[in-house]
Protein backbone atom coordinates (compact mmCIF):
# COMPACT_ATOMS: atom_id res chain seq x y z
CA UNK A 1 0.00 0.00 0.00
CA UNK A 2 2.91 2.38 0.73
CA UNK A 3 4.19 2.01 -2.85
CA UNK A 4 0.63 2.58 -4.09
CA UNK A 5 0.36 5.76 -2.02
CA UNK A 6 3.74 7.03 -3.19
CA UNK A 7 2.80 6.42 -6.83
CA UNK A 8 -0.50 8.26 -6.58
CA UNK A 9 1.05 11.15 -4.68
CA UNK A 10 3.84 11.54 -7.24
CA UNK A 11 1.39 11.34 -10.11
CA UNK A 12 -0.96 13.83 -8.49
CA UNK A 13 1.83 16.33 -7.95
CA UNK A 14 3.02 15.86 -11.52
CA UNK A 15 -0.31 16.34 -13.23
CA UNK A 16 -1.41 19.19 -10.97
CA UNK A 17 -0.03 21.54 -13.61
CA UNK A 18 -2.11 20.03 -16.43
CA UNK A 19 -5.04 22.00 -17.87
CA UNK A 20 -7.89 21.96 -15.36
CA UNK A 21 -11.27 20.31 -15.86
CA UNK A 22 -13.95 22.73 -14.71
CA UNK A 23 -16.44 21.29 -12.21
CA UNK A 24 -18.36 24.47 -11.45
CA UNK A 25 -17.99 28.22 -11.56
CA UNK A 26 -15.92 29.25 -8.54
CA UNK A 27 -14.64 32.52 -7.19
CA UNK A 28 -10.86 32.36 -7.06
CA UNK A 29 -10.13 35.98 -6.21
CA UNK A 30 -9.23 36.57 -2.57
CA UNK A 31 -10.55 39.43 -0.44
CA UNK A 32 -8.84 41.10 2.48
CA UNK A 33 -11.03 42.59 5.21
CA UNK A 34 -10.84 45.28 7.85
CA UNK A 35 -13.41 45.15 10.64
CA UNK A 36 -14.21 48.27 12.68
CA UNK A 37 -16.54 48.64 15.62
CA UNK A 38 -17.74 47.39 18.95
CA UNK A 39 -17.74 44.20 21.02
CA UNK A 40 -20.00 42.44 18.52
CA UNK A 41 -17.40 42.83 15.79
CA UNK A 42 -14.65 41.87 18.22
CA UNK A 43 -16.39 38.58 18.98
CA UNK A 44 -16.72 39.32 22.66
CA UNK A 45 -18.96 37.29 24.95
CA UNK A 46 -19.99 37.89 28.54
CA UNK A 47 -17.05 35.70 29.51
CA UNK A 48 -14.35 35.55 26.85
CA UNK A 49 -14.65 35.46 23.07
CA UNK A 50 -16.19 33.23 20.42
CA UNK A 51 -13.82 30.77 18.82
CA UNK A 52 -14.29 32.26 15.34
CA UNK A 53 -15.67 35.78 14.96
CA UNK A 54 -17.34 36.76 11.71
CA UNK A 55 -14.24 38.59 10.47
CA UNK A 56 -12.29 35.33 10.60
CA UNK A 57 -15.10 33.48 8.85
CA UNK A 58 -15.18 36.08 6.07
CA UNK A 59 -11.41 35.94 5.59
CA UNK A 60 -11.51 32.15 5.33
CA UNK A 61 -14.45 32.21 2.91
CA UNK A 62 -12.68 34.61 0.56
CA UNK A 63 -9.22 33.10 1.05
CA UNK A 64 -7.96 36.44 2.38
CA UNK A 65 -6.95 38.14 5.61
CA UNK A 66 -8.69 40.19 8.27
CA UNK A 67 -7.48 43.07 10.40
CA UNK A 68 -9.90 43.62 13.27
CA UNK A 69 -9.72 47.00 15.00
CA UNK A 70 -12.86 46.59 17.10
CA UNK A 71 -13.05 46.93 20.86
CA UNK A 72 -15.57 46.53 23.64
CA UNK A 73 -17.72 49.52 24.54
CA UNK A 74 -16.90 51.49 21.38
CA UNK A 75 -19.56 53.97 20.30
CA UNK A 76 -19.71 56.06 17.16
CA UNK A 77 -17.81 58.97 18.73
CA UNK A 78 -14.94 56.71 19.71
CA UNK A 79 -15.00 54.92 16.36
CA UNK A 80 -14.78 58.19 14.43
CA UNK A 81 -11.88 59.33 16.59
CA UNK A 82 -10.20 55.93 16.16
CA UNK A 83 -10.47 56.02 12.38
CA UNK A 84 -9.06 59.53 12.29
CA UNK A 85 -6.08 58.38 14.33
CA UNK A 86 -5.25 55.12 12.59
CA UNK A 87 -1.58 54.22 12.66
CA UNK A 88 0.37 53.91 9.43
CA UNK A 89 0.12 50.13 9.71
CA UNK A 90 -3.64 50.31 10.21
CA UNK A 91 -4.04 52.73 7.31
CA UNK A 92 -2.13 50.32 5.10
CA UNK A 93 -4.51 47.52 6.09
CA UNK A 94 -7.48 49.72 5.17
CA UNK A 95 -5.82 50.76 1.90
CA UNK A 96 -5.12 47.15 0.94
CA UNK A 97 -8.55 45.81 1.94
CA UNK A 98 -11.20 44.92 -0.60
CA UNK A 99 -13.91 45.27 2.04
CA UNK A 100 -14.37 47.21 5.29
CA UNK A 101 -17.10 46.04 7.68
CA UNK A 102 -18.49 48.38 10.33
CA UNK A 103 -20.48 47.43 13.44
CA UNK A 104 -21.52 50.44 15.54
CA UNK A 105 -24.48 52.20 17.14
CA UNK A 106 -25.63 49.83 19.84
CA UNK A 107 -23.54 51.39 22.59
CA UNK A 108 -24.62 54.89 21.52
CA UNK A 109 -28.27 53.97 21.99
CA UNK A 110 -27.60 52.22 25.30
CA UNK A 111 -25.68 55.22 26.67
CA UNK A 112 -28.34 57.70 25.60
CA UNK A 113 -31.25 55.59 26.83
CA UNK A 114 -29.67 54.75 30.19
CA UNK A 115 -28.72 58.41 30.75
CA UNK A 116 -32.34 59.47 30.26
CA UNK A 117 -33.63 56.76 32.58
CA UNK A 118 -31.09 57.55 35.31
CA UNK A 119 -31.91 61.25 35.09
CA UNK A 120 -35.59 60.36 35.67
CA UNK A 121 -34.85 57.98 38.53
CA UNK A 122 -32.59 60.58 40.16
CA UNK A 123 -35.38 63.18 40.24
CA UNK A 124 -37.48 63.55 43.40
CA UNK A 125 -41.00 62.42 42.53
CA UNK A 126 -44.07 64.07 44.11
CA UNK A 127 -45.92 60.75 43.88
CA UNK A 128 -43.06 59.02 45.72
CA UNK A 129 -43.07 61.22 48.84
CA UNK A 130 -40.60 63.54 47.10
CA UNK A 131 -37.99 60.80 47.00
CA UNK A 132 -36.00 59.63 44.01
CA UNK A 133 -35.48 56.02 42.99
CA UNK A 134 -31.73 55.74 43.44
CA UNK A 135 -30.22 53.39 45.97
CA UNK A 136 -28.95 54.91 49.19
CA UNK A 137 -25.54 56.47 48.69
CA UNK A 138 -26.11 57.45 45.07
CA UNK A 139 -26.93 60.93 43.78
CA UNK A 140 -27.35 62.52 40.36
CA UNK A 141 -23.66 63.43 40.48
CA UNK A 142 -22.79 59.72 40.36
CA UNK A 143 -24.43 59.18 36.97
CA UNK A 144 -21.66 58.40 34.43
CA UNK A 145 -21.41 60.45 31.26
CA UNK A 146 -22.04 57.31 29.18
CA UNK A 147 -23.90 54.90 31.45
CA UNK A 148 -24.62 51.30 30.54
CA UNK A 149 -27.35 48.90 31.65
CA UNK A 150 -25.14 47.67 34.49
CA UNK A 151 -25.09 51.23 35.87
CA UNK A 152 -28.89 51.33 35.87
CA UNK A 153 -29.04 47.98 37.66
CA UNK A 154 -26.39 49.09 40.15
CA UNK A 155 -27.76 52.54 40.96
CA UNK A 156 -31.55 52.16 40.77
CA UNK A 157 -33.58 50.76 43.67
CA UNK A 158 -35.73 48.37 41.64
CA UNK A 159 -37.91 47.47 44.63
CA UNK A 160 -38.77 51.12 45.08
CA UNK A 161 -39.64 51.43 41.41
CA UNK A 162 -41.76 48.27 41.54
CA UNK A 163 -43.66 49.43 44.62
CA UNK A 164 -44.25 52.83 43.04
CA UNK A 165 -45.62 51.36 39.82
CA UNK A 166 -47.84 48.80 41.55
CA UNK A 167 -49.31 51.27 44.03
CA UNK A 168 -51.31 53.23 41.49
CA UNK A 169 -52.25 52.96 37.82
CA UNK A 170 -51.22 56.57 37.29
CA UNK A 171 -47.78 55.79 38.64
CA UNK A 172 -47.39 52.83 36.32
CA UNK A 173 -48.51 54.98 33.39
CA UNK A 174 -45.98 57.68 34.34
CA UNK A 175 -43.18 55.12 34.43
CA UNK A 176 -44.19 53.61 31.10
CA UNK A 177 -44.47 57.07 29.55
CA UNK A 178 -40.94 57.90 30.68
CA UNK A 179 -39.58 54.66 29.25
CA UNK A 180 -41.23 55.30 25.90
CA UNK A 181 -40.29 58.98 25.92
CA UNK A 182 -36.61 58.12 26.17
CA UNK A 183 -37.00 55.80 23.19
CA UNK A 184 -38.82 58.49 21.21
CA UNK A 185 -35.96 60.93 21.79
CA UNK A 186 -33.67 58.34 20.27
CA UNK A 187 -35.61 57.25 17.22
CA UNK A 188 -37.36 60.43 16.05
CA UNK A 189 -36.51 60.53 12.31
CA UNK A 190 -36.46 64.33 12.27
CA UNK A 191 -34.40 65.34 15.28
CA UNK A 192 -33.75 62.20 17.34
CA UNK A 193 -30.34 61.18 18.67
CA UNK A 194 -29.96 58.50 16.00
CA UNK A 195 -30.62 61.06 13.26
CA UNK A 196 -28.66 63.95 14.72
CA UNK A 197 -25.70 62.17 16.25
CA UNK A 198 -25.17 58.52 15.35
CA UNK A 199 -25.82 58.70 11.60
CA UNK A 200 -23.57 61.74 11.04
CA UNK A 201 -20.80 59.88 12.84
CA UNK A 202 -21.29 56.76 10.72
CA UNK A 203 -21.27 58.87 7.56
CA UNK A 204 -18.06 60.55 8.72
CA UNK A 205 -16.46 57.16 9.41
CA UNK A 206 -17.32 56.03 5.88
CA UNK A 207 -15.81 59.24 4.49
CA UNK A 208 -12.61 58.63 6.47
CA UNK A 209 -12.37 55.06 5.16
CA UNK A 210 -12.96 56.22 1.60
CA UNK A 211 -10.28 58.88 1.93
CA UNK A 212 -7.83 56.05 2.58
CA UNK A 213 -9.29 53.53 0.14
CA UNK A 214 -11.81 54.91 -2.36
CA UNK A 215 -12.29 51.49 -3.95
CA UNK A 216 -13.13 49.50 -0.83
CA UNK A 217 -16.55 47.92 -0.51
CA UNK A 218 -18.06 49.17 2.75
CA UNK A 219 -20.66 47.16 4.63
CA UNK A 220 -22.37 48.45 7.77
CA UNK A 221 -24.40 45.95 9.75
CA UNK A 222 -27.59 47.04 11.45
CA UNK A 223 -28.47 46.09 15.02
CA UNK A 224 -30.38 42.98 16.06
CA UNK A 225 -32.98 43.07 18.80
CA UNK A 226 -31.78 40.98 21.78
CA UNK A 227 -34.93 41.06 23.93
CA UNK A 228 -36.75 38.34 22.01
CA UNK A 229 -37.50 36.22 25.07
CA UNK A 230 -39.84 33.27 24.79
CA UNK A 231 -42.88 33.10 27.12
CA UNK A 232 -41.80 29.59 28.11
CA UNK A 233 -38.45 30.87 29.34
CA UNK A 234 -40.05 33.71 31.33
CA UNK A 235 -42.55 31.34 32.94
CA UNK A 236 -39.90 28.76 33.76
CA UNK A 237 -37.47 31.32 35.15
CA UNK A 238 -39.75 33.75 36.95
CA UNK A 239 -42.99 31.87 37.46
CA UNK A 240 -46.39 33.57 37.47
CA UNK A 241 -45.25 37.16 37.98
CA UNK A 242 -45.62 40.46 36.16
CA UNK A 243 -42.18 39.95 34.69
CA UNK A 244 -43.65 38.86 31.39
CA UNK A 245 -45.48 42.18 31.07
CA UNK A 246 -42.27 44.09 31.78
CA UNK A 247 -40.36 42.07 29.18
CA UNK A 248 -43.13 42.66 26.66
CA UNK A 249 -42.94 46.43 27.19
CA UNK A 250 -39.15 46.42 26.88
CA UNK A 251 -39.36 44.26 23.77
CA UNK A 252 -41.75 46.69 22.10
CA UNK A 253 -39.47 49.62 22.91
CA UNK A 254 -36.39 47.75 21.67
CA UNK A 255 -38.16 46.71 18.46
CA UNK A 256 -39.08 50.31 17.67
CA UNK A 257 -35.51 51.47 18.29
CA UNK A 258 -33.71 48.90 16.14
CA UNK A 259 -36.23 49.27 13.31
CA UNK A 260 -35.80 53.02 13.29
CA UNK A 261 -32.01 52.63 13.44
CA UNK A 262 -32.12 50.24 10.48
CA UNK A 263 -34.31 52.55 8.39
CA UNK A 264 -32.10 55.56 9.06
CA UNK A 265 -28.96 53.51 8.45
CA UNK A 266 -30.25 52.43 5.04
CA UNK A 267 -30.58 56.07 4.03
CA UNK A 268 -27.22 57.15 5.46
CA UNK A 269 -25.36 54.22 3.91
CA UNK A 270 -26.98 54.67 0.50
CA UNK A 271 -25.95 58.33 0.49
CA UNK A 272 -22.33 57.24 0.95
CA UNK A 273 -22.40 54.29 -1.46
CA UNK A 274 -22.16 51.71 1.34
CA UNK A 275 -24.22 48.56 1.81
CA UNK A 276 -26.21 47.47 4.86
CA UNK A 277 -26.10 43.90 6.13
CA UNK A 278 -29.60 43.36 7.52
CA UNK A 279 -28.69 41.28 10.55
CA UNK A 280 -31.88 42.42 12.28
CA UNK A 281 -34.13 40.54 9.87
CA UNK A 282 -32.07 37.35 9.99
CA UNK A 283 -31.91 37.32 13.79
CA UNK A 284 -35.65 37.93 14.04
CA UNK A 285 -36.26 35.32 11.34
CA UNK A 286 -40.00 34.81 11.56
CA UNK A 287 -41.21 31.92 9.44
CA UNK A 288 -43.55 32.64 6.55
CA UNK A 289 -47.08 33.11 7.79
CA UNK A 290 -46.05 33.72 11.42
CA UNK A 291 -46.65 37.16 12.92
CA UNK A 292 -44.16 38.50 15.43
CA UNK A 293 -45.74 38.88 18.86
CA UNK A 294 -45.11 38.26 22.55
CA UNK A 295 -45.92 34.62 21.91
CA UNK A 296 -43.56 34.57 18.89
CA UNK A 297 -40.97 37.25 19.70
CA UNK A 298 -38.37 36.20 17.13
CA UNK A 299 -35.28 34.01 17.18
CA UNK A 300 -32.51 36.21 18.55
CA UNK A 301 -32.24 33.84 21.53
CA UNK A 302 -30.87 31.21 19.13
CA UNK A 303 -28.03 33.50 18.10
CA UNK A 304 -27.27 35.01 21.51
CA UNK A 305 -27.21 33.25 24.87
CA UNK A 306 -29.81 35.47 26.51
CA UNK A 307 -31.93 32.62 27.87
CA UNK A 308 -29.21 31.26 30.14
CA UNK A 309 -30.11 31.20 33.82
CA UNK A 310 -31.57 34.55 34.91
CA UNK A 311 -31.72 37.45 32.48
CA UNK A 312 -29.18 39.25 34.65
CA UNK A 313 -26.64 36.56 33.73
CA UNK A 314 -27.63 36.30 30.07
CA UNK A 315 -25.45 37.48 27.20
CA UNK A 316 -26.56 39.92 24.51
CA UNK A 317 -23.49 39.26 22.33
CA UNK A 318 -23.69 36.86 19.37
CA UNK A 319 -22.62 33.30 20.13
CA UNK A 320 -20.87 31.19 17.50
CA UNK A 321 -24.15 30.65 15.67
CA UNK A 322 -24.66 34.41 15.69
CA UNK A 323 -21.27 35.06 14.12
CA UNK A 324 -21.99 32.40 11.51
CA UNK A 325 -25.27 34.16 10.69
CA UNK A 326 -23.65 37.61 10.51
CA UNK A 327 -20.88 36.32 8.24
CA UNK A 328 -23.47 34.69 5.97
CA UNK A 329 -25.43 37.93 5.80
CA UNK A 330 -22.37 40.00 4.93
CA UNK A 331 -21.42 37.49 2.21
CA UNK A 332 -24.86 37.63 0.59
CA UNK A 333 -24.90 41.42 0.98
CA UNK A 334 -21.64 41.62 -0.95
CA UNK A 335 -23.26 39.31 -3.50
CA UNK A 336 -19.98 37.53 -4.16
CA UNK A 337 -20.78 33.92 -3.27
CA UNK A 338 -19.31 30.56 -4.17
CA UNK A 339 -19.53 26.95 -3.10
CA UNK A 340 -17.86 26.82 0.29
CA UNK A 341 -15.81 24.00 1.72
CA UNK A 342 -14.23 25.97 4.54
CA UNK A 343 -14.93 27.45 7.94
CA UNK A 344 -18.40 28.82 7.17
CA UNK A 345 -19.95 25.48 6.26
CA UNK A 346 -17.79 23.62 8.79
CA UNK A 347 -19.23 25.66 11.65
CA UNK A 348 -22.78 25.05 10.44
CA UNK A 349 -22.30 21.31 9.95
CA UNK A 350 -20.81 21.10 13.44
CA UNK A 351 -23.89 22.58 15.14
CA UNK A 352 -25.61 20.11 17.43
CA UNK A 353 -28.90 22.01 17.06
CA UNK A 354 -28.75 22.95 13.38
CA UNK A 355 -32.17 21.35 12.92
CA UNK A 356 -33.51 24.36 14.85
CA UNK A 357 -31.68 26.96 12.75
CA UNK A 358 -34.25 29.71 12.06
CA UNK A 359 -35.68 29.66 8.55
CA UNK A 360 -34.77 33.12 7.23
CA UNK A 361 -31.22 32.95 8.52
CA UNK A 362 -30.89 29.40 7.21
CA UNK A 363 -31.80 30.57 3.72
CA UNK A 364 -29.09 33.23 3.98
CA UNK A 365 -26.53 30.65 5.10
CA UNK A 366 -27.47 28.27 2.29
CA UNK A 367 -27.13 31.09 -0.26
CA UNK A 368 -23.64 31.86 1.08
CA UNK A 369 -22.45 28.25 1.46
CA UNK A 370 -23.83 27.03 -1.84
CA UNK A 371 -23.56 23.40 -2.89
CA UNK A 372 -20.62 21.09 -3.39
CA UNK A 373 -19.26 18.93 -6.20
CA UNK A 374 -17.99 15.43 -5.56
CA UNK A 375 -14.23 15.24 -6.02
CA UNK A 376 -13.64 19.00 -5.78
CA UNK A 377 -11.83 18.86 -2.43
CA UNK A 378 -10.16 22.24 -2.89
CA UNK A 379 -13.52 23.89 -3.70
CA UNK A 380 -11.87 25.84 -6.49
CA UNK A 381 -14.34 24.69 -9.12
CA UNK A 382 -11.99 22.20 -10.79
CA UNK A 383 -11.12 18.54 -10.32
CA UNK A 384 -7.41 17.92 -10.70
CA UNK A 385 -4.26 16.54 -9.10
CA UNK A 386 -4.52 18.96 -6.20
CA UNK A 387 -7.76 17.31 -5.12
CA UNK A 388 -6.19 13.85 -5.32
CA UNK A 389 -3.18 15.08 -3.34
CA UNK A 390 -5.41 16.41 -0.54
CA UNK A 391 -7.30 13.12 -0.35
CA UNK A 392 -4.11 11.11 -0.21
CA UNK A 393 -2.58 13.43 2.39
CA UNK A 394 -5.71 13.05 4.50
CA UNK A 395 -5.49 9.27 4.25
CA UNK A 396 -1.81 9.28 5.22
CA UNK A 397 -2.54 11.45 8.27
CA UNK A 398 -5.49 9.52 9.61
CA UNK A 399 -3.80 6.17 8.93
CA UNK A 400 -0.89 7.20 11.15
CA UNK A 401 -3.18 8.35 13.95
CA UNK A 402 -2.95 12.08 13.24
CA UNK A 403 -5.93 14.41 13.27
CA UNK A 404 -7.75 15.23 10.05
CA UNK A 405 -6.96 18.57 8.43
CA UNK A 406 -10.04 18.64 6.22
CA UNK A 407 -13.24 20.57 6.86
CA UNK A 408 -16.56 18.74 7.04
CA UNK A 409 -17.60 19.39 3.44
CA UNK A 410 -14.13 18.51 2.17
CA UNK A 411 -14.55 15.08 3.74
CA UNK A 412 -17.92 14.70 2.04
CA UNK A 413 -16.51 15.34 -1.42
CA UNK A 414 -13.32 13.31 -0.77
CA UNK A 415 -15.17 10.04 -0.22
CA UNK A 416 -15.99 9.20 -3.86
CA UNK A 417 -16.02 5.40 -3.78
CA UNK A 418 -19.06 5.19 -1.46
CA UNK A 419 -17.34 2.89 1.02
CA UNK A 420 -17.35 5.39 3.91
CA UNK A 421 -13.55 5.49 3.96
CA UNK A 422 -11.22 8.18 2.66
CA UNK A 423 -8.19 6.35 1.28
CA UNK A 424 -5.96 5.80 -1.75
CA UNK A 425 -8.81 4.41 -3.81
CA UNK A 426 -10.63 7.74 -3.62
CA UNK A 427 -7.48 9.60 -4.64
CA UNK A 428 -6.87 7.14 -7.47
CA UNK A 429 -10.38 7.58 -8.87
CA UNK A 430 -10.11 11.38 -8.78
CA UNK A 431 -6.70 11.33 -10.42
CA UNK A 432 -7.67 8.81 -13.09
CA UNK A 433 -10.69 10.85 -14.07
CA UNK A 434 -8.59 14.00 -14.26
CA UNK A 435 -5.95 12.41 -16.48
CA UNK A 436 -8.56 10.95 -18.82
CA UNK A 437 -10.60 14.14 -18.98
CA UNK A 438 -7.50 16.21 -19.65
CA UNK A 439 -6.52 13.85 -22.48
CA UNK A 440 -10.03 14.08 -23.95
CA UNK A 441 -10.88 10.40 -23.51
CA UNK A 442 -13.47 11.15 -20.79
CA UNK A 443 -16.23 13.53 -21.84
CA UNK A 444 -18.67 13.19 -18.94
CA UNK A 445 -18.79 14.74 -15.49
CA UNK A 446 -16.97 13.19 -12.59
CA UNK A 447 -20.21 11.90 -11.08
CA UNK A 448 -21.01 10.19 -14.40
CA UNK A 449 -17.52 8.72 -14.43
CA UNK A 450 -18.01 7.33 -10.91
CA UNK A 451 -21.37 5.83 -11.87
CA UNK A 452 -19.88 4.11 -14.90
CA UNK A 453 -16.80 2.80 -13.08
CA UNK A 454 -18.15 1.37 -9.84
Averaged pLDDT of the chain: 89
pLDDT band, very low/low/confident/very high, at 76 (cuts 50, 70, 90): very high
Please, what is the Cα angle at 155 between 235 and 297, to 5 degrees? Answer: 30
The predicted-structure confidence for 277-299, as pLDDT tens digits, reads as follows 999 999 997 777 788 777 788 89
- The alpha carbon dihedral of 154, 160, 166, 169 has a sign of negative
pLDDT band, very low/low/confident/very high, at 167 (cuts 50, 70, 90): confident
Average the pLDDT over 101-114 and give the result.
95
> What is the spatial distance between Cα 255 and Cα 263, in angstroms, rounded to a whole number?
12
The pLDDT of residue 16 is above 50: no
CA 276 centroid distance within chain: 13
The reported pTM is 0.86
Domains, the chain, ranges and CATH? 2-24+373-452 (1.10.1330.10), 33-104+187-369 (3.40.50.1110), 109-180 (no CATH)
Average the pLDDT over 150-165 and give the result.
84
pLDDT band, very low/low/confident/very high, at 242 (cuts 50, 70, 90): low
The answer to whether 325 touches 365, Cβ cutoff 8 Å, is: yes
The answer to whether 417 touches 426, Cβ cutoff 8 Å, is: yes
More confident residue, 73 or 22: 73
> What pairing do the DSSP bridges indicate for beta strands 33-37 and 275-277?
unpaired
The pLDDT of residue 227 is above 90: no
The predicted-structure confidence for 52-62, as pLDDT tens digits, reads as follows 999 999 999 99
pLDDT band, very low/low/confident/very high, at 128 (cuts 50, 70, 90): confident
Name the phi and psi angles at 226, rounded to 5.
-80, -15
The pLDDT of residue 191 is above 80: yes
66 to 38, 85, 348: CA distances (angstroms)? 16, 19, 21
pLDDT value of position 28: 52
Q: What is the C-alpha end-to-end distance of the chain, expressed in Å? A: 21
Half-sphere exposure of 403 (CA within 13 A, CB side): 2
Amino acid sequence: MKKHISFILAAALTVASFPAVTASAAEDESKDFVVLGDSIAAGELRDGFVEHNYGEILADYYNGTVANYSSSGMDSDVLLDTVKKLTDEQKKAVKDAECVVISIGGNDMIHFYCKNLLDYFATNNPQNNMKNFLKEGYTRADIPENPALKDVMEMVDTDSVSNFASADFGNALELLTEIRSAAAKLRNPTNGYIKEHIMPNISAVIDEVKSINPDAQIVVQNIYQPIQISPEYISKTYGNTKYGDIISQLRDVAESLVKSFSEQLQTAAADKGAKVADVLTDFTSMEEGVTQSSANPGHAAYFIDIETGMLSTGDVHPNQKGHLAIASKIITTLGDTHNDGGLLSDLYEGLADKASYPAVALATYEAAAGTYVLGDVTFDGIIDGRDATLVLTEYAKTSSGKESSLYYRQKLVSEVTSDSIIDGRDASMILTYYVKASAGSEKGTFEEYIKNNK
